[in-house]
Amino acid sequence: KQEVTQIPAALSVPEGENLVLNCSFTDSAIYNLQWFRQDPGKGLTSLLLIQSSQREQTSGRLNASLDKSSGRSTLYIAASQPGDSATYLCAVRHATDSWGKLQFGAGTQVVVTP
């Protein structure tokens, strides 16, 4: 059974520092991996999607890497801002799941202080 773990569970950094969020998964047979942002009491906003054949994806200040063989993904957020404060979730889709179910990690709660 796939297990998705995110470390750390919480992170607080001063504005301007780079953020590094880790996600690990136990079954490397994934179709893709997705990073989401969730603000308190809100739904999810998709940040980046990495297909299993890709090594990384970039969008603005965000960069996500994927090492499928070791079961790890890292989300980097450059030059953090207070507006980046949120919970970040990673989720994987199994390679053989035709319905596309996502298995989520518990998330990393990020606070960026001014």
Partner 1 sequence: GAVVSQHPSRVICKSGTSVKIECRSLDFQATTMFWYRQFPKQSLMLMATSNEGSKATYEQGVEKDKFLINHASLTLSTLTVTSAHPEDSSFYICSARDWTSSPPKNIQYFGAGTRLSVL
In the complex, the residues that contact partner 1 under the rule CB under 8 A are 34, 36, 41-46, 49, 89, 91, 99-107, 109
Least separation in angstroms between residue 34's CB and partner 1 is 8
Least separation in angstroms between residue 43's CB and partner 1 is 4
DSSP state of 40: T
Cα separation values, 62 from 70, 74, 97, 98, 112, Å: 22, 10, 28, 29, 15
Q: Up-side HSE of residue 78: CA atoms within 13 Å toward CB?
A: 7
Q: Tell me whether residue 46 or residue 70 sits nearer to partner 1 (CB atom).
A: 46
Least separation in angstroms between residue 16's CB and partner 1 is 27
Q: Tell me whether residue 66 or residue 89 sits nearer to partner 1 (CB atom).
A: 89
Contact 72/44 with Cβ under 8 angstroms?
no
Q: Tell me whether residue 31 or residue 76 sits nearer to partner 1 (CB atom).
A: 31
